[in-house]
Amino acid sequence: MTARPNGAPRSAAINGTSARRLDLDDYFARQRAGRAELPDPEPILRNLTHCVIEVLAGARDLEQLARWVTDDVYRNLSKRVVLAARARRAKGQAPQRPAFTVGRVHLCEPVDGIVEAVVLVHQRARSRAVAIRLEGLDQRWRASVISVL
C-alpha cells in the first residue's frame, strides 16, 4: 500500500478482507456528493486561492493543502513549488509572504456537484487569475484542477 499526500492509503480493504482491494479514487468516485449536500463553494475558493499563492511564494508549506486537493493537483503544485524555489535561489531572494488581495470569484456549475471558478488575485504590480475546479466528494469540496495564470 502506498500513501497519498494526505496520508490516506492508496488502496483500502473492504469488509476486513485483504484479498479484495479497491483503489481509493474509485471509492471516492462512488461517493460523489450533489450540490445540495455540499457547503457554499465561495469561501473554499477564496481560501484555497489564498493558500496556493502563498505556497508558490514559499510562505506556506504545500502539505497544508493536501487534504483539499487531488493527487494530480498536489503533484503539479509540488513541481511548481520546486521551480519557484529554484528561481528564488538563483536570484538570491528569500521566501516572503506576498502582499495581495483576493478579488472577485466567477463561478459556474456545469454539472451537479462540480464547480468551475476563476478567482482574481490583485497584487501591487499585477493581477492574476486562479482557475479552480471543485468536485464534491464525501460531502466536502476537493480541488481536482488548479491553474495559476
Instruction: Say if 108 falls within a structural domain.
Output: yes
Q: 79-83 long-range contacts, Cβ below 8 Å, gap at least 24?
A: 80/56, 80/148, 81/55, 81/56
Instruction: Say if 113 falls within a structural domain.
Output: yes
Instruction: Say if 17 falls within a structural domain.
Output: no
Domain of 60: which CATH number?
Answer: 3.10.450.50
Instruction: For residue 118, give its domain range.
Output: 31-148
Q: What is the pLDDT of residues 56-102, one digit of tens each?
A: 999 999 999 999 999 999 999 999 999 999 999 999 988 889 999 99
At 35 the pLDDT is 77
Q: What is the pLDDT of residues 20-56, one digit of tens each?
A: 444 555 555 557 778 788 999 999 999 999 999 999 9
Q: What is the pLDDT of residues 104-138, one digit of tens each?
A: 999 999 999 999 999 999 999 999 999 999 999 88
Instruction: Say if 78 falls within a structural domain.
Output: yes
Instruction: Say if 37 falls within a structural domain.
Output: yes
- Count of domains observed in the chain: 1
At 103 the pLDDT is 97
Instruction: Give pTM, 2 decimals.
Output: 0.76
Instruction: Say if 22 falls within a structural domain.
Output: no
Instruction: Say if 35 falls within a structural domain.
Output: yes
Instruction: Say if 23 falls within a structural domain.
Output: no
